[in-house]
Amino acid sequence: MTGRTWLLAFGCALLLPSCGQKANQLPSQLSHIPGDLANSSLALSGVYADGWTGKTAALNLKQPAGDQVLVVRGMVPKVGDSDYSGDVAVSVDNRLIDRHSFRLGDFEIVEPIGGQSGTRRIGLAFSKVQQLPRGDDRVVGARLTFVGFEQAKADADVVRSPGVHLGSGWGQLETFKNQTFRWVNNDAELQITAEKPGDLGISLTVEPGPGVAAGPFLLKVLDSSGRQVASALIGKRETVRLFVPVEAGGANEFHLHVDGGGKMTPGDPRVLNFRVFRMEAAPLTGNNPQRTSS
């Protein structure tokens, strides 16, 4: 079967429920891909019957009651460039939840999800795509291996990467409206253990707090000597990527610092300059202009 004929066969399975699929009960997760994709109630868009996605993809799932997280696992193939990387935007009911960086190989996205139980439209949008080889010729973002809702772990913290640990200066872990975060007064410490020396990318989901009048502030990353190695202007809840130099072996110490701030909140003895919802790290590939040094 040629690549074009094979693709048309899968297109029929994907786009035309009348090709043999029957309406099924909407599941809360797809744990056996590609078999689970035969369920026509998913209302697939941009997802091939073998699990590959296009530049954008969407599907319906049933969100169970209780504290849930949305989990997406998949694989980005190595077609050509060994430094291939990009980001994927995750949306629920057409509302952007977050953006995550990806590189070649396996990836996992875990997002806390608020709201009531019910049908949710899960969307993925890849910033970059690749063309599959060997006569396939499809342009793809990734191959999905799992998409669905899972019960949130009671001890889930803001750090989502191995080798990254919280030191001093962090507030207690809090959960409000199904969102988990830690408040920071100032100089929250990060300890990073790296396998290789060089630059490490840190993705932070951050939001200004009443300590900085909930307005724009410059978030600085300082090394153990107090030297600024990265910074980002934070104006609202957003995800930023900062790049820091690390040595292999021992713990690399950094601090999240803000100049100024310190305004008090009525009825709260704490200084709430900013809060961090999520933090993950990945080796830097290629140049990135978001890193600033002094």
> What CATH number is associated with residue 86?
2.60.120
Same domain, 147 and 169: no
Same domain, 242 and 176: yes
For the question of whether the overall pTM of this predicted structure is more than 0.85, the answer is: no
The span from the CA of 155 to the CA of 165, in Å, is: 15
159 in any annotated domain: no
Mapped onto helix, strand or coil, the DSSP state of residue 173 is strand
Same domain, 41 and 117: yes
288 in any annotated domain: no
Of the candidates 200, 164, 189, 216, the residue with the CA atom closest to the CA atom of residue 284: 200
Same domain, 41 and 90: yes
Contact 130, 140 (CB under 8 A): yes
235 in any annotated domain: yes
Same domain, 14 and 147: yes
118 in any annotated domain: yes
The span from the CA of 88 to the CA of 71, in Å, is: 14
Q: Look at residues 151, 175, 193 and tell me which one is the last residue of a structural domain.
A: 151
Tell me the pairing of strands 188-192 and 252-258: antiparallel
Q: Look at residues 127, 151, 175 and tell me which one is the last residue of a structural domain.
A: 151
Same domain, 53 and 137: yes
289 in any annotated domain: no
Q: What is the CATH number of the domain that holds 207?
A: 2.60.120.260
Q: Look at residues 151, 172, 199 and tell me which one is the last residue of a structural domain.
A: 151
Same domain, 186 and 115: no
231 in any annotated domain: yes
Same domain, 94 and 57: yes
Domain that holds residue 236: 164-283
3-state helix, strand, coil in the chain (%, to 5): 10, 55, 40
Same domain, 238 and 277: yes
The span from the CA of 132 to the CA of 78, in Å, is: 9
Same domain, 214 and 278: yes
The arrangement of strands across the sheet holding 45-47 comes to 45-47, 53-63, 118-126, 85-92, 95-103
44 in any annotated domain: yes
Count of domains in the chain? 2
On the CB side of 259, how many CA atoms lie within 13 Å of its CA? 7
Contact 286, 83 (CB under 8 A): yes
pLDDT (tens digit, 0 to 9) for every residue of the chain, 294 residues total?
444 444 444 444 444 333 434 457 999 999 999 999 999 999 999 999 999 999 999 999 999 998 788 999 999 999 988 889 888 989 999 988 777 888 889 888 888 777 789 999 999 999 999 999 988 999 999 999 999 999 876 556 888 777 788 889 999 888 887 788 999 999 999 988 887 889 999 999 999 999 999 889 999 999 999 999 999 999 999 999 999 999 987 789 999 999 999 999 888 899 999 999 999 886 544 444 343 333
198 in any annotated domain: yes
Same domain, 254 and 198: yes
Of the candidates 272, 257, 209, the residue with the CA atom closest to the CA atom of residue 236: 209
Same domain, 186 and 262: yes
Token pair of 253 as six digits: 């110490």
